[in-house]
Amino acid sequence: MSRQATGERARGLFLTFEGPEGAGKSTQLAALVRHLHGAGYTVTETREPGGTLLGTQVRRVVLDPEVEMEPLPEFLLYSASRAQLVAEVIRPALARGEVVVCDRYADSTLAYQGYGRGLGLDFLTRVTAEATGGLRPDLTALLDLDPALGLARAARRGQPDRLERADLAFHTRVREGFLTLAAAEPGRFLVLDATRPVAELSADIWEATQRRLAAPLVPGAR
């Protein structure tokens, strides 16, 4: 059944997963999608960058270790991919009453290009708001992990991409950025210790998601 078919809302629910490299976002996202399907919800699963033809091409460029890129064009490429994803995938799915689950979204831009690369947060926020039409997640699961451990996990997956090759100081700033963002919006973020057992993390995320699914629609939202 779609989110709309439950009769609880006129539009769907938007959930995102964030965290540093190697935090286990993909594993937890897949577990949540299984829970949602098992409960009868219609789910649109996507990722950033990606999810569209344009986004897939952007992903190849921004993660290519052979490509040298300044922080500003990096941010603008991510923004172009995000704008297309929101217009082509996310908003239509929400309008159909579906649950949208996205691997990374705008918080990654603030953490990576803002806190990590040093671009101005006000500038990033303004451009992101234009790119997304102000669309924000209902719930963000932040899987927190020491960046040294995360990079070691990522290295075991194979050849590191362009972001994974950045130094530890950069990834430390990214983690601090995520935690700062979460502290500023405790009602939206679910902060989880990514070293905990996978099953425990999945249970916590599902419990938080169920609470959001049962919450009434805020008038005028989106």
- Per-residue pLDDT at 159: 76
Name every residue whose Cβ is closer than 8 Å to that of residue 50 and which is 6 or more positions away in sequence: 56, 58, 59, 81, 85
Structure-block tokens of residue 151 = 């990079």
The answer to the question of whether 25 is labelled as a binding residue is: yes
Total domain count for the chain? 1
In this structure, is residue 222 part of a structural domain?
no
Tens of pLDDT, residue by residue over 131-161, are 999 999 999 999 999 999 988 888 888 778 8
In this structure, is residue 156 part of a structural domain?
yes
The answer to the question of whether 150 is labelled as a binding residue is: no
The answer to the question of whether 22 is labelled as a binding residue is: yes
The answer to the question of whether 158 is labelled as a binding residue is: no
The answer to the question of whether 19 is labelled as a binding residue is: yes
The answer to the question of whether 177 is labelled as a binding residue is: no
Tens of pLDDT, residue by residue over 189-222, are 999 999 999 999 999 999 999 999 987 654 444 4
In this structure, is residue 68 part of a structural domain?
yes
Strands 13-18 and 99-103: parallel
pTM for this prediction: 0.90
Nearest CA to 41 out of 2, 97, 4, 89 is that of: 2
Instruction: Please report, for the domain that includes residue 171, its CATH number.
Output: 3.40.50.300
In this structure, is residue 219 part of a structural domain?
no
- Per-residue pLDDT at 154: 82
The answer to the question of whether 81 is labelled as a binding residue is: no
- Per-residue pLDDT at 79: 98
In this structure, is residue 154 part of a structural domain?
yes
In this structure, is residue 38 part of a structural domain?
yes
Residue ranges making up the domain that contains 117: 4-214
The answer to the question of whether 23 is labelled as a binding residue is: yes
Q: Which residues of the chain have pLDDT under 70?
A: 1-10, 216-222
Name every residue whose Cβ is closer than 8 Å to that of residue 53 and which is 6 or more positions away in sequence: none
- Per-residue pLDDT at 160: 82
In this structure, is residue 163 part of a structural domain?
yes
In this structure, is residue 160 part of a structural domain?
yes
- Per-residue pLDDT at 27: 96
Alpha-carbon distance 64 to 77, whole Å?
Answer: 13
3-class DSSP assignment, residue 4: helix
